[in-house]
């Protein structure tokens, strides 16, 4: 999810598409939050890791 967010951020910046930029930011933030929760030992959705 983090990698997809970064790819969409880059594509949105290169092609000048603000929708891709926004979706990329959202995916990046959600991916980082899930990664931090998993690393802290909290179960996310019943799983220790979200991937």
State the pLDDT at residue 50: 56
The answer to whether 24 and 8 have CB atoms below 8 angstroms apart is yes
Over the stretch 2-50, which tens digit does the pLDDT of each residue have? 899 999 999 999 999 999 999 999 999 999 988 888 777 777 766 665 5
pLDDT at 51 over 60: no
What's the Cα-to-Cα distance from 12 to each of 3, 22, 25, 46, rounded to whole Å? Answer: 14, 8, 10, 33
Question: So where are the chain's domains?
Answer: 2-39
Reported pTM:
0.76
- Return the pLDDT at 40: 78
């Amino acid at each position: 999810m983090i990698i997809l967010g970064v790819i969409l951020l880059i594509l949105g910046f290169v092609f000048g598409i603000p929708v891709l930029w926004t979706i990329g930011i959202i995916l990046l933030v959600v991916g980082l939050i899930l990664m931090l929760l998993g690393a802290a030992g909290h179960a996310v959705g019943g799983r220790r890791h979200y991937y």
